Amino acid sequence: MTTPLGSDVPRVDGRLKVTGAARYSADHSEDHWAGRLAYAHVVLSTVARGSVRSMNVDAARGAPGVLAVYTPFEPLRIYSASRGETYAPLQDRDVRFRGQVIGLVVAETIEQAREAAALVSAEYDTVPARTTLAAGMPGEPVEGDAEFPAQAAPVLAPGVASIDDALRASAVTVDITVTQLPQSHVAMEPHSTTAVWQNDHLTVYSGCQGPANYANTLAERVGVSRDNVRVISPFVGGGFGSRVPTWGDGPLAAVAARALGRPVKLTLTREQAFVLTGHRPLIEQRVRLGASRDGVLNAVSHQCWSEMPVAGGWNEAPAGETTTVLYRTPNLAIEERLVPMDTPATWAMRAPNEAPGMFALETAMDELAVALGMDPVELRLRNDATTVPGSDRGWTSRRLAECYRVGAERFGWADRNPVPGSRIDGEWLVGHGTATAIYPANRSDVPVRLTLRDDGTAVVSTSTPDIGTGTYTMASIVASDALGIPLDRVVAELGDSALPAGTAAVGSRAAGTLAPMIQDAARTLIGEITALAVRTQRSPFHGLDPASLTYREGRVEGNGRAVTFAEIIDMADLPHLEVTTEGGAGGPGGGGAPEGPVAHGFGAHFCEVRVNRFTGEPRVSRFTTVVDVGQVISARTARSQLVGGVVFGIGAALLETNPIEEDSGRFAGANLADYLVAVNADIPPIDVSWIDYADTAFSSAGARGLGELATVGSSAAVGNAVFNATGIRIRDLPITLDKLI
Ligand code: MOS
């Protein structure tokens, strides 16, 4: 059998998706609920800060089909979460941001619920809201901790008193400040929850990134035992971070269903999802670099100020974290501040921290290359780190320099003209830019179940969902390879909190975590099927020494006989044979660990931009990315993830922004016509490839994960290309045409 490992096989769930057979969260309207499913709609505050003085719900209560109206004056009890939003909607009259849930209407149909919600009115006592970073400055310093030690104290060379001294002593310096307004996750699938109670057992259908974690938090927020909650999430139309926390809509649907004794479905509109399911925080960063005249870094300072809503959210301040590991420097200081604001809760989005952080650092590196008169690829190679600055820890594997060499060749970097504005093609100015991709690789030993069935198929089972990334395909390929059976005889069963926990689909860790665990389960299962073969009376191998038998391609072989695992299971009168992995089995583990090598994915981006000389319109015309991620398991879905990352980078550079109106605290964007994501017309063919090898110091599978990697640095490559095209440096994203004329 030819292994599918690393090859370009179609998605195993592709047919289900393109035929519409794959059911996403809002698609669950089971027949046996017919006539019982009720629909909820949320009512949002229209002021950004203050308190609700009074509400009028009479018209809503009297509207057709309405079953119930809940408000802070007549609430349903839910509890606050430890992550995501840190308040609980409807539990008090405080308004923390514009668009906070202040009411919930439940009706017989979705139209009736929405109509009645529009009839609810509220009076407020208002207070001026902090809707800009300036209003919340200077912010709270973030202390270093075990996870982010670099914040604790700067790394300084002997005899250097401070990072400012190190910068002053450097021959060449740059000092830049970059800003980025909020961005929205915009998962394609609407955020929807359907909650069903059977006695005191709650089943929830909700697309989420970690059904096991979601069930834990939902149990807390609803106030029931974890054992009584099951979360089902077989298909997810994109998460990008927005489906990690248990936002208030899920618990509200659950308690409404309990109160009414009926299943309840609550689906957010796009505008509501913008406000209620997190956004990438507004962030401002200052990067200062000091180098010798021949381009050797002497000092790196990275300071971040990040929005931190009082309603809770994600700490984006460690945007400087990857700055602590990318380049060799004797002096390094990271400072991070959280700025309190009266804005909707934030959450991790598509390479949180790293994506904005590397836009800042890699823009500064480009500016340093210009100041030095040095090629920007050469500058990066000259400062490529071999150990983490300030420590002697190396990497499980790090082939960044090879990515740069291969990428430069594929892109034709040698033909670049370093003089900005010097390459003209008709009405277009053409520019070339480069930047580094880097993203942490983490894995841990987690439970995964592998089952051999008497029909000759194998099932790999874990609560980890496929959020569109290709996890069904990846898990099936690993099991097929490890068991030596064809891919079409493997079934992946994912996205259900009742399955062995696996990992949440966060931080690009599903493949890196699951692959070695599936391999480990396969090794154990092969031992067990062999043991079963010698133990079973009806087996031709009965009574033999197991060591005399071999397993190959789904068969146990020995004594000139070969018997399939299906036959052995059948002879033993078993329905199936299964194992669930335990901890400590995945082989060496990089990342996360307090000692030993650290682990990251790496990559080199090369971008060609064309800027219209008359309108200023910027268009990306070519893009090449080469990554170092260790073993690629599923070539097709890996390529899609990497292309998607570049698309996000282009979007962040040129299009994606959701400003908050200063006076109202309202997002400027309410839909996908206001909030621009890159579409096909914005994206040229993207050339992605990888260095082909396995990082066996990271895990037995050698695969480090790659989901978010290409999102990092790609926006800087675009900005650097815009500078090369025009001589104009834009440090405030997105780079729109008005800034280029
Ligand atoms: Mo992701 S932004 O790690 O869900």
Instruction: Look up 708 and say whether it is catalytic.
Output: yes
How is residue 343 written in tokens? 């804005």
Tokens 């870094």 belong to which residue? 297
Assess whether the C-beta atom of 440 lies below 6 angstroms from ligand 1: no
Ligand 1 closest atom vs CA 505: 4
User: Are 289 and 299 contacting, i.e. CB atoms less than 8 angstroms apart?
Assistant: yes
Separation between Cα atoms, residue 77 and residue 83, nearest integer Å: 18
Same domain, 397 and 324: no
pTM: 0.96
Assess whether the C-beta atom of 507 lies below 6 angstroms from ligand 1: yes
How is residue 292 written in tokens? 């010798």
**From 183, 280, 506, mutation site for ligand 1 pocket: most ligand atoms within 8 A of C-beta:** 506
Assess whether the C-beta atom of 89 lies below 6 angstroms from ligand 1: no
**From 183, 246, 314, 350, mutation site for ligand 1 pocket: most ligand atoms within 8 A of C-beta:** 350
Separation between Cα atoms, residue 457 and residue 211, nearest integer Å: 26
Q: How far is the CA of 629 from the centre of ligand 1 (A)?
A: 18
Same domain, 134 and 121: no
Assess whether the C-beta atom of 348 lies below 6 angstroms from ligand 1: yes
Q: How far is the CA of 509 from the centre of ligand 1 (A)?
A: 10
Same domain, 329 and 212: no
Please indicate, yes or no, if residue 293 is contained in any of the structural domains: yes
Q: Which of 93, 95, 59, 99 has its CA nearest to residue 74?
A: 93
User: Are 71 and 51 contacting, i.e. CB atoms less than 8 angstroms apart?
Assistant: no
Element (H, E) at 22: none
Query: Which parts of the chain register pLDDT below 50?
Result: 590
Number of domains in the chain: 4
Tokens 């194998």 belong to which residue? 458
Q: Which of 711, 212, 209, 713 has its CA nearest to residue 509?
A: 209
Question: Each residue of 547-570: pLDDT tens digit?
Answer: 999 999 999 999 899 999 999 999
- CA-nearest residue, atom 4 of ligand 1: 241
Quote the pLDDT of residue 584.
Answer: 58
Same domain, 570 and 449: yes
Q: How far is the CA of 239 from the centre of ligand 1 (A)?
A: 8
Quote the pLDDT of residue 589.
Answer: 55
**From 244, 314, 509, 513, mutation site for ligand 1 pocket: most ligand atoms within 8 A of C-beta:** 244
Same domain, 225 and 114: yes
Assess whether the C-beta atom of 506 lies below 6 angstroms from ligand 1: yes
Element (H, E) at 304: strand 297-309
Boundary (domain end) residue, out of 258, 276, 294: 276
Ligand 1 closest atom vs CA 239: 4
Same domain, 80 and 141: no
Which string of DSSP letters, residue by residue, matches 409-459?
Answer: HHHTGGG---STT--EETTEEEEEEEEEEEEE--------EEEEETTS-EE
Assess whether the C-beta atom of 350 lies below 6 angstroms from ligand 1: yes
Same domain, 562 and 576: yes
* CATH number of the domain enclosing 403: 3.30.365.10
Ligand 1 closest atom vs CA 508: 3
Ligand 1 closest atom vs CA 507: 3
Quote the pLDDT of residue 30.
Answer: 83
How is residue 361 written in tokens? 């650092």
Quote the pLDDT of residue 146.
Answer: 58
Quote the pLDDT of residue 587.
Answer: 54
- Rounded to the nearest 10 degrees, how much is the dihedral formed by the CA atoms of 529, 531, 536, 540? 80
Q: How far is the CA of 281 from the centre of ligand 1 (A)?
A: 14
User: Sign of torsion, CA 22 24 30 35?
Assistant: negative
Please indicate, yes or no, if residue 642 is contained in any of the structural domains: yes
Same domain, 211 and 342: no
Separation between Cα atoms, residue 519 and residue 477, nearest integer Å: 11
Q: How far is the CA of 708 from the centre of ligand 1 (A)?
A: 8
User: Are 38 and 107 contacting, i.e. CB atoms less than 8 angstroms apart?
Assistant: yes
Assess whether the C-beta atom of 244 lies below 6 angstroms from ligand 1: yes
Separation between Cα atoms, residue 113 and residue 568, nearest integer Å: 57
Assess whether the C-beta atom of 352 lies below 6 angstroms from ligand 1: yes
Boundary (domain end) residue, out of 527, 553, 580: 580
Assess whether the C-beta atom of 353 lies below 6 angstroms from ligand 1: no
Same domain, 527 and 655: no
**Choice among 321, 336, 608, 708 that is catalytic:** 708
Assess whether the C-beta atom of 495 lies below 6 angstroms from ligand 1: no
Separation between Cα atoms, residue 17 and residue 485, nearest integer Å: 25
User: Sign of torsion, CA 235 240 244 246?
Assistant: negative
**Residues in Cβ contact with 199 at an 8 Å cutoff, skipping those fewer than 6 apart:** none
Q: How far is the CA of 544 from the centre of ligand 1 (A)?
A: 51
Instruction: Round the CA-based radius of gyration of the chain to a whole number and report it.
Output: 27
How is residue 426 written in tokens? 């008709």
Amino acid at site 554: G
Please indicate, yes or no, if residue 4 is contained in any of the structural domains: no
Q: How far is the CA of 46 from the centre of ligand 1 (A)?
A: 29
Quote the pLDDT of residue 318.
Answer: 81
Same domain, 215 and 99: yes
Please indicate, yes or no, if residue 372 is contained in any of the structural domains: yes
Same domain, 680 and 659: yes
How far, rounded to the nearest angstrom, does the alpha carbon of residue 398 sit from its chain's CA centroid? 22
Assess whether the C-beta atom of 280 lies below 6 angstroms from ligand 1: no
Q: Which of 333, 335, 334, 331 has its CA nearest to residue 298?
A: 331
Separation between Cα atoms, residue 205 and residue 718, nearest integer Å: 40
Q: How far is the CA of 504 from the centre of ligand 1 (A)?
A: 10
Show the CA angle centred on residue 426, arms to residues 422 and 431, nearest 5°. 40
Same domain, 665 and 682: yes
Boundary (domain end) residue, out of 276, 309, 340: 276
CB-neighbour burial class of residue 141 (10 A; exposed 0-12, middle 13-18, buried 19+) = exposed
Neighbour tally for 580: CB within 10 Å? 17
Assess whether the C-beta atom of 361 lies below 6 angstroms from ligand 1: no
What is the SS3 assignment for 259? Answer: helix
Please indicate, yes or no, if residue 60 is contained in any of the structural domains: yes
Separation between Cα atoms, residue 354 and residue 352, nearest integer Å: 6
Separation between Cα atoms, residue 94 and residue 712, nearest integer Å: 38
Assess whether the C-beta atom of 277 lies below 6 angstroms from ligand 1: no
Ligand 1 closest atom vs CA 349: 2
Please indicate, yes or no, if residue 1 is contained in any of the structural domains: no
The whole domain housing 94 covers: 18-128+185-276
How far, rounded to the nearest angstrom, does the alpha carbon of residue 596 sit from its chain's CA centroid? 26
Q: How far is the CA of 241 from the centre of ligand 1 (A)?
A: 4
